[in-house]
Amino acid sequence: MTKKEKVSFVIEKLDELYPEIPIPLDHKDPYTLLIAVLLSAQSTDVRVNQITPKLFKKADTPKQMVKLSVREIRDIIKPVGLSPMKSKGIHGLSQILINDYGGEVPKSFEALEALPSVGHKTASVVMSQAFGIPAFPVDTHIHRLMYRWGLSRGKNVNQTERDAKRLFPKNKWNDLHLQIIWYGREYCPARGWKIENDIISRTIGRKAIIKKQTKT
C-alpha cells in the first residue's frame, strides 16, 4: 500500500467510525476553550472537565477572572497539576485579553502564542475548535499513531505535525486530529493495546511493531 493509499484508508475508516466528532474539553466559547486547553497540559481531559465547572462558576470571562487572585485560581485548579504556573498564566493572559483585545480571544496563531502559558499546540486547538481555522494540533495520541501507522518517523511532535499537514488534505485537518485522538484512546492506546481490535494499525501499521505486538 502506498502512502497515499494509507492516507485514504485512514480517512475512510475514521469517517466511518466517527461521523459525529465530539470535542473532548467542555467549553462554551473561545475563552473557556483556551482556559481548558491550557489546563489540559500534562493532565487528562477527564480531570480538566471535572475542574473547569468549578472555575467557570466563579469566572468564565477575562474580566471576571482577573478579579480572582492567582492564589484563588491555583486553589481551584490544583487537581489538574502544574497549578502554580497555570494559575499565573490564566490570570496574566486574561489581563492581556482585556488590555489588548477588548476581552476577546484573538483569531491569530501569533497573538495566541504570545500569551502567557500558551504554546503552539494550545493555539492550534483554539484556532481549530473555536474558530474553524485549519490546524493540526498534535498530542501524545496523534504522535503515537502517526508513528505506528508509518506516516511519521516519530522524531518529535513538530515533525509529526509537519508530516500530518503534508499528508492529509487541509480541509480534513480539523476533523482528523480529533478523530485520531478518539481512535487512539479507543483502539490504539499506549498501554493495553490489543492489535486485534485495531483495524487501521493491523492494515497499514509498521511491520516490525505489528509483528512485536502480535507476539505479546
29 is catalytic: no
Q: Is the pLDDT of residue 214 over 90?
A: no
69-126 pLDDT, tens digit each: 999 999 999 999 999 999 999 999 999 999 999 999 999 999 999 999 999 999 999 9
Q: Is the pLDDT of residue 215 over 80?
A: no
**Band of pLDDT at residue 216, cut at 50, 70 and 90:** low
Tell me the mean pLDDT in the region 38-50.
96
Where do the domains of the chain lie, and which CATH numbers do they carry?
A: 3-21+137-215 (1.10.1670.10), 30-130 (1.10.340.30)
Catalytic residue (choose from 6, 45, 86, 121): 121
User: Mean pLDDT of all residues in the chain?
Assistant: 96
pLDDT at 8: 98
Tell me the mean pLDDT in the region 144-150.
97
CB atoms within 10 A of CB 110: 8
Cβ atoms of residues 43 and 132 within 8 Å: no
Catalytic residue (choose from 45, 139, 163, 198): 139
pLDDT at 48: 98
Q: CA-CA distance, 19 to 179, in Å (whole number)? A: 9
**Band of pLDDT at residue 211, cut at 50, 70 and 90:** confident
Higher pLDDT: 39 or 208? It is: 39
171-195 pLDDT, tens digit each: 999 999 999 999 999 999 999 999 9
Cβ atoms of residues 175 and 168 within 8 Å: no
Q: Is the pLDDT of residue 12 over 90?
A: yes
pLDDT at 213: 84
Q: Is the pLDDT of residue 155 over 90?
A: no
| Cβ-count burial 5-44 (b if 16+ within 10 Å, e if not) | ebbebbbebbeeebeebeebbebeebbbbbbbbbbbbebe
Task: Enter the pTM of the model.
Answer: 0.93
Higher pLDDT: 210 or 81? It is: 81
- How far is the CA of 171 from the CAs of 44, 68, 134, 135, 159, in angstroms? 28, 40, 7, 10, 20
Tell me the mean pLDDT in the region 42-62.
97
45 is catalytic: no
